[in-house]
Amino acid sequence: MPRFLDVHARLDGALIRKLQNGPVDEFGIIYLNILYNPEVEQCFCLIEAPTLEAVQKHHDKFGIKCDCIIEVKTTT
């Protein structure tokens, strides 16, 4: 399944835990990791999703505006 990295403003800690530990949702989203930089108040999410559109719909559902969403591949 494709992997995507998205970048957006800081999220509430409870929402981060809910997303990271939640089951696959109706859009097929699986969170692999969520990273947060408090100095710049940004979150970086690595997720598996069937399509870019699924990622966008997932974020819209939670009212999260992404600054950037890109498809990524691992180096191994």
Whose tokens are 């969170």? That residue is 31
- CATH code where residue 21 lies: 3.30.70.3090
- Residues 6 or more apart in contact with residue 69 via CB below 8 angstroms: 4, 5, 6, 7, 52, 55, 56
Q: Which domain, by its residues, includes 19?
A: 3-72
Identify the pLDDT of residue 40. Answer: 85
Q: Total structural domains in the chain?
A: 1
Mean pLDDT of 40-66: 92
Stated pTM of the model: 0.85
Model pLDDT for residues 9-45, shown as the tens digit of each residue: 877 777 777 788 888 999 999 999 988 887 888 899 9
Q: Where are the alpha helices (DSSP H) in 1-76?
A: 13-21, 52-61
Q: Let me know: does 69 contact 4? Beta carbons within 8 Å.
A: yes
For the chain, the average pLDDT equals 89
H/E stretch holding 35 reads: strand 30-37
